Structure 1
Amino acid sequence: MKRNLISNTLAGLTLALAAAGAWAAPAIDVIGKDFTFPNKIEGMPAKLSDFKDLQINSFTTSDGVKLSYWEAGKGKPLVFIPGWSANGAEYVNVMYLLSKHYHVYVLDPRNQGMSEHSERGARVARFGADLKEFGDHLGLKKADYCGWSMGAAVLWSYIDLFGTKGINKVAFIDEPPSIYSHADWSEKERQDAGGMTSSPERMVEAFTTGKPVSSFIVQSQAFQRFTLRDSPYFANSEAFAEAAVKNDMNAIKRVLFDHAMNDWRDVIRTKVNVPTAIFTGVYSDSLQGQRWIHSVIPNSELHVYSAAEQGDHFLAFKNPIKFTTELRSFLER
């Protein structure tokens, strides 16, 4: 009886601290339970509790929104920014591998993951400001950054607003320079920009409701590739994310139209002036767009994953051994 009382008191204290935004605790305590990964993979954690130094922490932005972030490891700071609707739980394998060499952070964007749901700031520009405030919160003078999908757009926004003074090296994973394909573009311009929709409204509807849409409106195989749990690593991280985080579609959809309408080509072409790595694959919706990014950023390097290497939008999570090895090689050069 006494043991149950103590356990309940500790659980209540953890929730109270989380609600106050003043907590820094092991991930297993914040989530409230352990998790057993469905696939046993040699060299990887079998349970969440095997990843002993994984923490979930938080800070409050200048406009009063509480953002959560995942962290593990020691050493040079390496910051990941997830894509639309994604969160730190999906990075569990990537973090486990890289935390042996870096102090790794994954920021849950507002309205995503364990961050606060707010009607304020549902714009990529605000997400870029959030990233700057996150670095300020951590006291980072300089760090390496990696943005996946919309997370790359958040990095482009950050660079547009604040420059690259605080960035050592940067990596982008499979984000089109412009999702919206303008009606007056040539086919080459569309492919170089990675344009994949002629109607952002229909794209938002398709992405948030699952309503079928023709390839004339949205040219994307991302959802099909997502449903292929053809990697035990990916099956593990997605199972964990689904157990740990409950998405609110009304919250996460708020930024999607703004995200679709931004054209980042001028920023990519003129403001990305630090060592850059671009990761994509043969199943990318914007492979030519990734090649264009590589062509306009001096001395950048391009990694194109094959079909056998899980070369789709989720390559970092489907093939985390190859991805983390190549990312680390880039960062250490």
Structure 2
Amino acid sequence: MNTASTYVEVEPGIELYVQETGSGDPVVFIPGFTFTSEVFTAQVEHFSKTHRTIVIDPRSHGRSTITVHGNDYVTHGTDLQKVLKELRVEKPVLVGWSFGCLTVWEFIRQSGIDSIQSLVLIDMPPKSLSLQQDRDWVEGPLDDMAAAYTNYLRDSKGQRDFISAYAAGVMVQRDLSQKELTWIVEQSLRTPYYIAANLFSSGLFSDYREEAAASSKSVPTLYIIAEHWSAAAIPYLNELAPNASIEVLGGHFMFWEHSEKFNEILGGFLETKRGG
């Protein structure tokens, strides 16, 4: 299977790393907060056999240009538009993970829902914070989110400690080996802490409920959510996006920990929508 790696200039001096593998209908994977295209290795290997599979390092992530401006999800949505235009990708399936879902929703806000074939949204509410946090599906309690920003994303050690705790407590459901934990943390640390703080605040204060509701009425939409907050997420999504399909699997990093099951779920969705 041939793999092509390239860099797409989204504005003068700022390039995004893009990897393409396979041919067929395009499926585009967008990683989450400070993570890189490498997290989707198992998905690329699997889906590139049947699809044109594209993974992207967002601005200031991974092998893309580190820049002190544009580290917000409005800009990330614009960047995605430019990448897909440069690659001549039409009507893709967009797969966002975590804050990568915000990039997907922002892309829809800017480009319109007619520009995509279908949506897969991995474990991210369209609005991270709520005063009704006992009822709504949110990223976490307000005090916890404030503490993460104030106490951890102030230096590299804080970012390292934050990701280490998040990986062990939220991302997976088993004990990580030291090698696995090191790899996860090093993924995040490719984005400097001062940029991570900008992305964190941008993500927490985003509100894409309108896009989430409208898109689920117009195109096939699948949410894959972690087990630990499914009790809140399912009724929330049933009210906001009743036409969307919902699957529950593992922790926040389920497509890595439970890659075979995840690929089965996603593959079934892609086949159903192709047949429909």
Q: State the TM-score, normalizing by the size of structure 2.
A: 0.83
Contact 1:114-1:245 at 8 Å conserved across structures: no
Q: Unaligned 5+ residue runs, structure 2?
A: none
Instruction: Give 1:276's aligned residue.
Output: 221
Q: Distance in 2 between matches of 1:54 and 1:238?
A: 27
Secondary structure of the 2:228 match is: coil
Residue type matched to 2:148 in 1?
M
Which of 27, 46, 55 matches 1:106? 55
- Change over 3 Å in CA distance of 1:75–1:277 after alignment to 2: same
Q: Distance in 2 between matches of 1:170 and 1:282?
A: 20
- Change over 3 Å in CA distance of 1:281–1:247 after alignment to 2: same
Cα deviation digits, residues 62-81 of structure 1 (max 9, x gap):
46421111221121110001
Q: Unaligned 5+ residue runs, structure 1?
A: 1-51, 214-219, 306-310
Instruction: Give 1:178's aligned residue.
Output: 127
Secondary structure of the 1:194 match is: coil
| Structure 1 residue 206: Cα displacement | 4.8
Q: Size of the alignment, in residue pairs? A: 263
Corresponding position: 1:135 with 2:80: no
Instruction: Give 1:261's aligned residue.
Output: 205
Contact 1:176-1:290 at 8 Å conserved across structures: no
Name the one with the larger helix percent.
Answer: 2
Cα deviation digits, residues 26-70 of structure 1 (max 9, x gap):
xxxxxxxxxxxxxxxxxxxxxxxxxx6344311011464211112
Instruction: Give 1:57's aligned residue.
Output: 6
Residue type matched to 2:68 in 1?
E
- Change over 3 Å in CA distance of 1:289–1:177 after alignment to 2: farther
Task: Tell me which stretches of 4 or more aligned residues in structure 1 moved more than 6 Å.
Answer: 235-238
Q: Distance in 2 between matches of 1:186 and 1:121?
A: 29
Residue type matched to 2:196 in 1?
I
Residue type matched to 2:169 in 1?
Q
Contact 1:112-1:252 at 8 Å conserved across structures: no
Q: Distance in 2 between matches of 1:223 and 1:293?
A: 26
* RMSD of equivalent CA atoms: 3.1
Contact 2:32-2:100 at 8 Å conserved across structures: yes
- Change over 3 Å in CA distance of 1:326–1:228 after alignment to 2: closer
Q: Distance in 2 between matches of 1:202 and 1:231?
A: 25
- Change over 3 Å in CA distance of 1:226–1:289 after alignment to 2: closer
Q: Distance in 1 between matches of 2:90 and 2:226?
A: 33
Which of 157, 167, 187 matches 2:134? 187
Higher-Rg member (1/2): 1
| Structure 1 residue 195: Cα displacement | 4.7
Secondary structure of the 1:126 match is: helix
Q: For 1:46-85, list aligned pairs within 5 A.
A: 53-62=2-11, 64-85=13-34
Q: Distance in 2 between matches of 1:103 and 1:237?
A: 30
Q: Distance in 1 between matches of 2:188 and 2:3?
A: 14
Instruction: Give 1:89's aligned residue.
Output: 38
Corresponding position: 1:249 with 2:214: no
Q: For 1:198-217, list aligned pairs within 5 A.
A: 198-199=142-143, 200-206=145-151, 208=153, 209=158
Cα deviation digits, residues 85-140 of structure 1 (max 9, x gap):
11011111111111111111111110111110111211111111111111101111
Secondary structure of the 2:210 match is: helix
Cα deviation digits, residues 193-228 of structure 1 (max 9, x gap):
425132554222455315989xxxxxx965523476
Q: State the TM-score, normalizing by the size of structure 1.
A: 0.70
Cα deviation digits, residues 143-171 of structure 1 (max 9, x gap):
11100000111111111222111210110
- Change over 3 Å in CA distance of 1:148–1:176 after alignment to 2: same
Taking only the aligned residue pairs, the percentage that are identical comes to: 23
Residue type matched to 1:318 in 2?
E
